[in-house]
Each structure stands twice: as structure tokens, then as C-alpha cells.
Amino acid sequence: MKLSIISSQPAILGIGTALPAHSISQSDVADLIASSLKDRPDLARFTRRIFKTCGVETRYTCDPSYLGEPEKCRYLPLDDKIDVPTTEERMHTYQRKALPLGLEAARRALIEADMSPKRITHLITVSCTGQYLPGLDVMLIKELGLSPRVNRLPLIFQGCAAGLKAVQMARDVVHGASGSQVLVVCVELCTLHFQPIQEREALFAASFFGDGASSCVIGAPELQHKHFLTLSTGYSVLLPDSTEDMTWEVGNTGYHLYLSPRIPKLLGTHLEAELQHLLQGDPLPELWAIHPGGRGIVDSVESVMSLTADQTRYSREILRTAGNLSSVTIMFVLQMMRREMRDNSRELTEGVAMAFGPGLTAELMRFAYVPSYSSLNLEQDHVLL
């Protein structure tokens, strides 16, 4: 099928990412949790096994208490007499720590996009790990120098899929309102919600989540833009019989996450049909930006779509070096992919992006890497509409 890209098609013009200053190795997190399980040696042994095999080596946290002596970490207390932080306390920490990370990512995205803050018409803020009002959107407007009339679209409590959901919302805004420039900012401080481990199921979630921020600018490409990602068709779908397999609920001591071990199997069962629907008979693309919700999820997508290890290495590398950053993660994957395409002087190349969240929700979207504005409006064999 012969397709073409047009210059007015929405595109990610720049991406920015940011991580907290505090990094922690996976082995150190395992030691910390194991220390809190002195009365449960079986669970401590299981902790070390799970943490070694989940595909993560390093994570980042906004809270330095994870790096000190085990007895000083209130999130995983060694003593029942130690008070675990309340939800209120965790939200106060989120309010202090989220803005600097979000600003760092947003400023990088604006610079990459060669975009003046005054040109931004819409601001989409994304987070499922903290809430307060006036919110992150208001603070970003003040600090970045955006117009006070910018259209604010907070996307709150949507889970890991929300980063790609925000990108698709921004694409639709640009489609519907010519001249729009959308700034997307995602901030997740997942480590604020670590809970004392009571059972094996809780270890799966504890084994790979970390903190970070990502941002992108979405608009129609202009003459100066290079190495951007055009955004094509996409949608959100609820997978059947999966409502209870991923939950994220507010408790008295932070948010409580449950991840069913069935999730990779569910994706393996339903994802192929959805991707065939997305591609509409076109060949499988070369690029695959998979949200690394865990090693099992990447394994499942690789298997069901018969992908190569080279095609899934972007997701695995982000999981290895930073963990799962919830909604933030998909832009880390796209940024790594985009930079490698640029460094290798690649020509226009098609791709699919996907992310998964509670529901069980799958966000799916087609995109293409474009090396320069001059590559547009040319008829080629493998270019997306």
C-alpha cells in the first residue's frame, strides 16, 4: 500500500526526560525489603529471586531515605512501632518534588522542539502518583512562562497508559485546531507509594517501579524541525475480562497497587487482534515502542508479534536502567529510539507505540520517524498517513 505523510500532520517535535538525583541499585532495594522481612525468611528469599529476574538493575527515587540505613526508611520499616507515612504526608512530598522534575523535562522538550513557551496553546499534565490544587499545571505555567490563557487539560489517575493517552489527545488537538502547539508533561513519583510487604503478590509491583518525568511538544512540523515523530492513527481499548487484574487505589498510607500475574497472558491473548486492527492489513513496522510495564509484558509482546530482540531492546534498556516510570516511561522509550535513528542517519521509518494501564487498557498508536522537514510530502512505499 502506497501512503504519504503531509507537512500538517501532528508530530512530536521535541522530547525531554528527567530523573531524580538519587539512584538505587536493584540489589540494594532487594536488601532493604529483605531486611524488613526478618520474621519471614521464605518471603525474603523470594524477594531476592524476583528482584534478580525482573529485568531492572537501577531505579531512581525522589526520597533519599531509601539510600540510608534500613532502619531509617519509613516506607519499609524494620519495626512495627515505626509509623508508615500517611497519604497526606506522601502528597506533601509529591507537591515538593514533582514540580522541579516536571520543569526539567519540559524545558528540555521546548529546547529540542525549538519552541517558545509563549507559543504553547495547550498544556496536558499527567500523573497518577500525586494530587493537589492548584495543581502541577498551574505551577508549570508560572515557572515556564506559558500564557495564562493556555488551555489546561490535566489527565489524572489513569495509570501507566496515560502518557501515550496524552500524546494521542495532543495529536487530536492539533488535528482539530490548526496552529495549536501542545506541551505534554508527565511526572510520576512511584516510590512514594511503597508499602510494607505482607505477601508475595506485593513484590511484583515493588520490583520495578521508579520515579521520573518526561515531556514532549506536539504540533505541525516546520522548516527548522528535524528528527521528529509524526503521529498517525491510534486508539484506546479495554481488554475483556481483565477489570480486576490491575488496580490502583487510595489508602490511608499512600496508594495501593495490585498487578495480576495474568497480565502478560492476557496481552498475549488479545493484543495481536488489536494490532491487526490498528495496522489495517499493512505490514508490521520496524519500530516498536513498548511500554516496559515489566519484563513479562515485553516478553509477551515480542512473542505474540514475532518480534526480534533488536526490536524490543529499547523497552528492555529503559526497564534495565530506570525501571517502570508509569505514564512517564513511553517517552523515555521514544526518545531513546529517536536519538538512535538520528545518530545512525536513518531514513523515514514506521513504528507502533503501545502502553497498558488499569482497565485493563491498551493504548495503541502508529507513528513514523522523519529525519527532516524536507522528507515530508514525498510519496514513498512505507510512510504513514
Stated pTM of the model: 0.94
Question: Are 9 and 230 spatial neighbours (Cβ–Cβ below 8 Å)?
Answer: yes
- Residue 35 is predicted with a pLDDT of 83
Angle at Cα 363 formed by Cα 163 and Cα 353, nearest 5°? 80
- Residue 8 is predicted with a pLDDT of 74
Dihedrals phi, psi of 378, to nearest 5 degrees:
-110, 135
- Residue 179 is predicted with a pLDDT of 93
As to burial, measured by CB atoms within 10 angstroms (0-12 exposed, 13-18 middle, 19+ buried), residue 14 is buried
Number of other CB atoms surrounding residue 83 within 10 Å: 9
CATH architecture of residue range(s) 224-373 = 3-Layer(aba) Sandwich (3.40)
Contacts for 201 with CB less than 8 Å, ≥ 6 apart:
258, 259, 261
CA distance linking residue 57 with residue 292, whole number of Å: 14
- Residue 2 is predicted with a pLDDT of 38
Decide the pairing of beta strands 182-189 and 122-127. parallel
Beta strands in the chain (DSSP E): 3-4, 11-18, 22-25, 58-61, 122-127, 151-156, 182-189, 211-219, 226-238, 246-251, 254-259, 287-290, 349-357, 361-372, 379-380
CA distance linking residue 147 with residue 137, whole number of Å: 12
Dihedrals phi, psi of 164, to nearest 5 degrees:
-70, -35
**CATH code for 16-219?**
3.40.47.10
Segments making up each domain of the chain, as ranges: 16-219, 224-373
Q: How many CA atoms lie within 13 A of 33 on its CB side?
A: 28
pLDDT in tens, the chain (385 residues): 334 566 679 999 999 999 999 999 999 998 888 888 877 888 888 888 888 889 999 999 999 989 888 778 888 877 776 789 999 999 999 999 999 999 999 999 999 999 999 999 999 999 999 999 999 999 999 999 999 999 999 999 999 999 999 999 999 999 999 899 999 999 999 999 998 877 777 788 888 999 999 999 999 999 889 999 999 999 999 999 999 989 999 999 999 988 888 999 999 999 999 999 999 999 999 999 999 999 999 999 999 999 999 999 999 999 999 999 999 999 999 999 999 999 999 999 999 999 999 999 999 999 999 998 877 664 444 444 4
Question: Are 218 and 10 spatial neighbours (Cβ–Cβ below 8 Å)?
Answer: yes
Question: Are 124 and 166 spatial neighbours (Cβ–Cβ below 8 Å)?
Answer: yes
Q: Hunting for cell 521546548 — which residue is that?
A: 110
**Equal fold, 16-219 vs 224-373:** yes
As to burial, measured by CB atoms within 10 angstroms (0-12 exposed, 13-18 middle, 19+ buried), residue 370 is buried
Amino acid at 71: E
β-sheet bridge partners, residue 231: 367
Amino acid at 164: L
